Amino acid sequence: MRKEFYITASVKIKNNEIFKNDRSIFKVNRGLSIQDFLKEAYQFLDLSYAKFHKMDVLCKLGIIATTVLKEDYSSDTALVFQNKSSSEVSDFQHQEKLNDFPSPANFVYTLPNIVMGEISIKHQLQSENAFFIAEEFQPQIIVSHTESLLKNNKASTTICGWLEANLNDYYVFLNYIEPQGEVVFSAPTLLENYIHE
C-alpha cells in the first residue's frame, strides 16, 4: 500500500510579503530593496542571530522562511530544496571581484546548498540534504525524494520546496511534511499551492 504523508505548514515569501499557511503575517512596501525587506523581516521576527547579517540573500531568505515555518524542529528533519538560479547573486559578486580581491566570505556562498548549511546550524539539523535545480518548479522530484526519505526512516519530517533568489527577484515556497496531518502531500497539491496567489 502507498504510504501517505501530509503538508502541515507552509511559508511563502514574495513581493516583500511573508505568508504563513496562506495568511499574510508581514509586509513592507514593494518598492523597498530586498536587503531592506530582509532587515525589517529580521527585526519583525526578533531573530537576534548576528550571523544573519553576514549571509547572502538566498541564505537570509532560507533562515527567515524556516523560522516562520515552525518554532522548532527535530534534528532529523530533512531539507529538500529546489531553485532555478542556484547561487547566482553571490556568483556575480565573486565574478566581479576576480580581478582584485575575491573574498572567501563571499566565495563560500557560491553554492546553492550553503543555505541548507545555514538552516542546519540555526535549527541544529543533522539531517539529509538535497538541492535540485530546475528551470521551473518541478514538484515531482521533490515529492518522490522526500517520500523516499520519510518511508525509509532516513528523516522523521522534511522541509521541502522552492527557494529562489536571482539578480532581479526572489520567491520562496517551503512546506513542512509529516507522517500525520490533513492535507495530503503530492506533486499536484504542491504545484497548486506554489502558483496560488
Tell whether residue 184 is a contact of another protein (CB under 8 A): no
In the complex with another protein, the residue whose CB is nearer, 12 or 123, is 123
In the complex with another protein, the residue whose CB is nearer, 105 or 197, is 105
Tell whether residue 179 is a contact of another protein (CB under 8 A): no
d(CA 35, CA 57): 7
Instruction: State in angstroms the smallest separation of the CB of 101 from another protein.
Output: 8
Tell whether residue 53 is a contact of another protein (CB under 8 A): no
Instruction: State in angstroms the smallest separation of the CB of 27 from another protein.
Output: 30
Using the structure block, give the residue that is written with the C-alpha cell 525509509: 152
Beta-carbon count within 10 A of 19 CB:
19
Tell whether residue 138 is a contact of another protein (CB under 8 A): yes
Out of 129, 186, 189, 193, the residue judged to bind another protein by CB under 8 A: 129
| Closest listed residue to residue 43, CA positions, set 64, 24, 59 | 64
Instruction: Give, in order, the Cα–Cα distances in Å from 133 to each of 92, 99, 101, 146.
Output: 18, 29, 29, 16
User: SS3 breakdown of the chain: % helix, strand, coil, rounded to 5?
Assistant: 40, 25, 35
Tell whether residue 120 is a contact of another protein (CB under 8 A): yes
Tell whether residue 79 is a contact of another protein (CB under 8 A): yes
Residue window 98-117: x/- pattern of binding to another protein, with contact defined by CB under 8 A: xx-xxxx--xx-xxxxxxxx
For residues 177 and 150, the answer to whether their CB atoms sit within 8 Å is yes
For residues 12 and 19, the answer to whether their CB atoms sit within 8 Å is yes
Tell whether residue 95 is a contact of another protein (CB under 8 A): yes
Is residue 197 packed enough to be buried (19+ CB in 10 Å), middle (13-18) or exposed (0-12)?
exposed
139 to 168, contacts with another protein by CB under 8 A?
Answer: 141, 144-145, 147-148, 152, 154
> Which three cell numbers, joined as nine digits, stand for 45?
521576527
Size of the site for another protein (CB under 8 A): 49
Residue ranges that bind another protein, judged by CB under 8 A: 75, 79, 84-86, 88, 91-92, 94-95, 98-99, 101-104, 107-108, 110-118, 120-121, 124-135, 138, 141, 144-145, 147-148, 152, 154
